[in-house]
Amino acid sequence: MRIDLKKHLKFAAPLTALALVAGCATPTPYQPLNATRTAGGYTNIPLDQTHWRVSFFGNSLTSRQQVENYLMFRAAELTLQQGYSCFTTVNHDTDRSTSVQVTPYGAGLYSRWAPYWSLHGPFGWNYYDPWMGGPFMGGQYDVNTIDRYQASADIALSKTCPTTPATFNAAQVMQNLRPYIVYPRPR
């Protein structure tokens, strides 16, 4: 039995490309920024000894809720790593950046089949040519709106937990949010 190598190889490249794209199409896991190929992650910048700016950047597949959960989880984790038990959010903001992709589809120069239509209306004959367009059939477009979220907060660390609405017990925050945290898959 002979194996036609050309026949099998013509499927190898598209399948490999599809596997690579599918592997990259995942929401941002909980990770430092630029830690893996998946876009997004957290950053933290010390402002002084007890104040930090914590941020989390999500990719186009990460929901706003998940970005905010990751931000709070990182604030709690950082608080415990620095030897404190509570943090207070001094300033908190979530930004959304939106981009729109418009992709034409339908009849084109290399399409398989396209109709030529004519229609008689009150002002005479109207024609549709798939390469030239026409007055009664506009172009067809796929419009895709892409949202990306970024959340940031300035936090103040403390050893005691005052009872204010913006103060959180770091250990409790980590315990409550842990079920919603997704870590990067090991390679």
Q: Identify the structural domains of the chain with CATH numbers, from first to last.
A: 26-98+147-180 (3.30.1360)
Taking residue 174's Cβ as centre, other Cβ atoms within 10 Å add up to: 19
CA distances from 52 to 5, 34, 45, 120, 123 (A): 59, 20, 6, 70, 70
Q: Is 132 helix (H, G, I), strand (E, B) or coil?
A: coil
**Helix, strand, coil percent values for the chain (each to nearest 5):** 25, 35, 35
pLDDT tens, the chain, 187 aa long: 555 555 544 554 454 444 444 445 789 999 999 877 778 999 999 999 999 999 999 999 999 999 999 999 999 999 999 999 999 999 999 999 999 887 765 545 544 445 555 666 677 766 655 555 555 445 566 778 899 999 999 999 999 998 899 999 999 999 999 999 999 888 7
Residue 60 per-residue DSSP state: T
Instruction: Please compute Rg for the chain using Cα positions.
Output: 27
